[in-house]
Every structure is written in C-alpha cells, then in structure tokens.
C-alpha cells in the first residue's frame, strides 16, 4: 500500500516488548479447553477457520501445537468471499505465514453472483457452507472456530436488544453437533487481549480489518457500548459470565426435554412423527413446549423455532384437548389420532423441483439428504419433487396394494419422489418403482432423513470466562 492510499486493512506486527507472561494463553490451558469439548480420535485432525485476524491466527497456532502433540494435524481454511479487492492477497499472505510454520492451508472461494441485499447474512451462510462441506468431503470431524469472550458478550447484548429469552441469551455454544462436522469454539471464555499476547509471544503478525471499527455494523456499536459499560463494572467478562450461567440453565432444560422426547415421541425415516399426547402434557409446561418446538423444527425442516406466542397457542389447544381439527405451525400439520398426535409436513411451501444429476448429492426440503445413482439414461428429465396428492393417485392406480400401507395417509403427500417427465418413477419410502421400463431412468441411490434440526437438537455447551 503506497502513501495516500485509502487503507482497507492493516498488517499488525508483534510488539517489540514481550507481553506479560500471565496474559499469554499457554499450551496447557488450551489443552484443558479442548479436553472439555471432546472426545477426539487418537490422532485428531482439525479444520481451523482462519481469516488472518489476530483471533483466528492465535487459534490456529494453538490448535496446531495441540493436534501435533497428539499425533494429529490441522488444516487452516480461509474463505475468500471475493467482496473486496484485497481478499485474495490477504488469503495468500495468510497461506505464506502458515506455510513458514509447516501448517497446511486451503483457500475456499465463494463463487457465483452475490445478493444485492442481505449480503452479510449471505456471506456468513456461504462461509459456513464452504467450511463444513470441505470437512465432510475430506473426512474431517472437527471444525474449530475462533469466537472469543468479547464475541460472546456482544452476541448476548445483540440478543438482549432483540428481546430474546434465556436460550438466546445463552449466546454461542462451545460445541455444535451437525450432520457433517462438530463445530468447536474453545476460546469463548478467553479475552481478546490474551490471544494477541499469544501471537506477540510467538512473533506472529496478523491482519487488522478496519471494518471491525465501522459504526454502521451492529456489532461495532455493541462493542463500543461494552467498552463504555466496562467502567461501571458491566464489561465483556461480566456479560459473558451471565451468558454462561444462562447456558447452564439451558443445558439442564435440554436434558429434561431429551428425556421427555425419548418417552413420548417416535420419528419415522419418511419424515413424520407420532406424539404420545398424555406423556407430553404430563411434563412441566416449559419442558413440554420445548419438546413440541423440537418436534416441529425437526419435521418442518426449519432452522428456527416457532414464535413463542404461536407455540403457546398451539400448546393451549393440545392441553385443552381441542385438536379436533388439524393445526399447522412451523411448516407442520398436526392431527389428533386414536393413539396421540400425528405430526407431518404440511402441503404449503413445497420446494422447487431439483434436477437429478448422476452421482449428485442434494439437501432437500430442509429434511432429507439424497444421493443419486452414478449413471442413468435421460437424466435431464428426472427431477426430485414432493409426491403430492396427484402423485399418490398415480402410483396407487398402478399398485393398489399401496393403500394397505400402515403409513398415515396425511404424511404421504410430502414424501420425496422422482419424476421422469410428468410421471412418478420412484418413491423410496413407499418402496415404489414404476414398472414396465426396459431401462429405468436415474434412480435414488441413498436417501436419509437429516433435518436441519434433529429431534434432540445440537445440544448446548456453556463456557466460563478464564
């Protein structure tokens, strides 16, 4: 950067003087933080998200030493969003620093058109998608993220502004289990200054992004407010401690909810569930409503729980035995049955048809992961869709014995189906394949029910400041 250029990022060099040794996050302390997030395999392999900032650079050095000491290794992953001209050069610089230390580095690029609105949210979604997809494809089980104590405090304050309940105020979990990888945040209780001191101790520079000081962003405003409040004893450490305490309460409630769901809920691979209404309503209301929300998110394929007031209205209907007519919420349809409550996907909001590609893999309807066969003729005309009522009428006319299936009729329409042109050629959950084809079209090789939120949820792990 030449004199007079507008700075887009700053390269921060280590201070000449050694920091206070007590401020450095040592190997033993980091090992204790990682042990709390286990278990790990004998020779752990970690993916570490590294932007080049102080937090992620410190995490990468600490994680690499931790993994190497256990016979494992790390791969540093830098996402280049392509939103700034400097991003490619920054990624290259990070790769050079890590190569000098013998650390493997990969750059993941966000390609394609970028949205004109909601860019920050889209970039965050793309970042996590790229990181978790890489881990899945190469078989890495743990993705380590550099969120620290100040990030945790800022998340608490942002959610407080939004009026979140105690779950939202628990802020970020130290462990998040997903279908592809475990997300680990070992530094949630570590203040930023200790991470910078660790880099200085190791003579490691980092990249300082001026956007972190841009007051247009909500986090920057909250960060500045926390600095002002710290003088009154309400700094990041106090706020993060409050979040940790709420997190422990949240964990206790999650445990009670898991016990209740094990007793009262059965989930079927075709994407519907059955609830024992008596057992559900016998539990305390806070536990019952949480269990109901988990079922709705699971079967509805939703990322977020329904609004509290809507959930309370539905719970009131169930508690009062007023489910004579079907109820809908969170993409689900609930019907009273002789044995309890059927929960299935409602007809509205069907996903657009997805073209089947030989050997391809798609996440469909927020609920299923579908893998297609490696080869098949006429693949351009084969699409994955919902079966629908018309599809059911078509296949039952072909195979009348399907009417005798014990699968609830209300759940059938939402089943994944392959259509070849205008007709249904396969419905895996009904064990149906269209007969009479000399050479069948592309087929589903594997299908599994992997909703965005499982019935038990990802779990929550609180992290106390250190």
What is the spatial distance between Cα 23 and Cα 146, in angstroms, rounded to a whole number?
17
In DSSP terms, 74 is beta-bridged to 46
DSSP 8-state assignment for residue 362: E
Topology annotation, domain 10-230: Rossmann fold (3.40.50)
What is the spatial distance between Cα 318 and Cα 51, in angstroms, rounded to a whole number?
48
Tens digit of pLDDT at every position of the chain (466 positions) = 333 333 334 455 444 433 444 589 999 999 999 999 999 999 999 999 999 999 999 999 999 999 999 999 999 999 998 878 888 999 999 999 999 999 999 999 998 888 877 777 788 889 999 999 999 999 999 999 999 999 999 888 888 887 777 788 899 999 998 878 999 999 999 999 999 999 999 999 999 875 556 555 666 677 766 776 676 677 888 889 999 999 999 999 999 999 999 999 999 999 999 999 999 999 999 999 999 999 999 999 998 888 888 999 999 999 877 777 889 999 999 999 887 999 999 988 888 999 988 888 999 999 999 999 887 655 568 899 999 999 999 999 999 999 998 899 999 999 999 998 888 989 999 999 887 654 557 888 999 999 988 888 777 888 888 8
pTM summary value:
0.76
CB 326 within 8 A of CB 335: yes
132-170 residues labelled b (16+ CB within 10 A) or e (exposed): bebbbeeebebbbbbbbbbbbbbbbbbbbeeeeeebbbb
* Residue 296 CB burial class (10 angstroms; 0-12, 13-18, ≥19): buried
């Amino acid at each position: 950067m030449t004199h007079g250029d507008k700075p887009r990022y700053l390269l921060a060099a280590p201070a000449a003087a050694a920091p206070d040794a007590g401020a450095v996050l040592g190997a033993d302390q980091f090992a204790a933080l990682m042990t709390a997030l286990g278990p790990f395999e004998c020779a752990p392999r970690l993916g570490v998200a590294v932007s080049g900032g102080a937090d992620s650079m410190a995490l990468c050095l600490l994680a690499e030493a931790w993994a190497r000491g256990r016979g494992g290794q790390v791969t540093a992953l830098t996402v280049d969003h392509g939103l700034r001209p400097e991003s490619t050069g920054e990624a290259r610089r990070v790769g050079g620093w890590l190569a000098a230390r013998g650390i493997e580095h990969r750059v993941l690029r966000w390609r394609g058109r970028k949205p004109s609105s909601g860019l920050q949210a889209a970039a965050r979604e793309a970042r996590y998608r790229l990181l978790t997809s890489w881990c899945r494809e190469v078989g890495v089980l743990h993705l380590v993220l550099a969120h620290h104590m100040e990030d945790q405090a800022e998340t608490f304050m942002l959610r407080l502004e939004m009026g979140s309940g105690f779950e939202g105020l628990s802020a970020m979990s130290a462990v998040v289990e997903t279908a592809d990888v475990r997300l680990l945040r070992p530094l949630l209780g570590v203040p930023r200054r200790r991470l910078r001191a660790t880099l200085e101790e190791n003579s490691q520079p980092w990249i300082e992004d001026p956007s972190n000081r841009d007051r247009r962003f909500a986090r920057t405003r909250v960060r500045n407010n926390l600095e002002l409040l710290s003088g009154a004893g309400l700094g990041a450490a106090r706020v993060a401690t409050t979040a940790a305490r709420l997190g422990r309460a949240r964990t206790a409630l999650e445990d009670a909810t898991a016990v209740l769901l094990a007793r009262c809920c059965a989930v079927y691979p075709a994407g519907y569930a059955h609830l024992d209404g008596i057992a559900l309503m016998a539990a305390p209301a806070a536990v019952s409503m949480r269990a109901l929300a988990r079922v709705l998110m699971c079967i509805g394929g939703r990322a977020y729980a329904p609004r509290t007031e809507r959930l309370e209205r539905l719970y009131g209907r169930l508690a009062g035995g007023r489910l004579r007519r079907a109820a809908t919420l969170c993409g689900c349809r609930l019907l009273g049955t002789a044995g309890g409550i059927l929960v299935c996907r409602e007809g509205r909001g069907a996903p657009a048809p997805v073209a089947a590609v030989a050997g391809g893999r798609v996440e469909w309807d927020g609920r299923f992961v579908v893998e297609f066969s490696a080869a098949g003729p006429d693949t351009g005309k084969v699409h994955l869709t919902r079966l629908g009522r018309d599809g059911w009428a078509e296949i039952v006319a072909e195979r009348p014995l399907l009417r005798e299936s014990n699968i609830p009729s209300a759940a059938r329409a939402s089943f994944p189906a392959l259509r070849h042109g205008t007709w249904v050629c396969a419905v895996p959950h009904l064990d149906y394949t269209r007969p009479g084809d000399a050479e069948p079209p592309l087929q589903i090789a594997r299908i599994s029910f992997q909703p965005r939120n499982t019935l038990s949820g990802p779990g929550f792990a609180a992290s106390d400041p250190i």
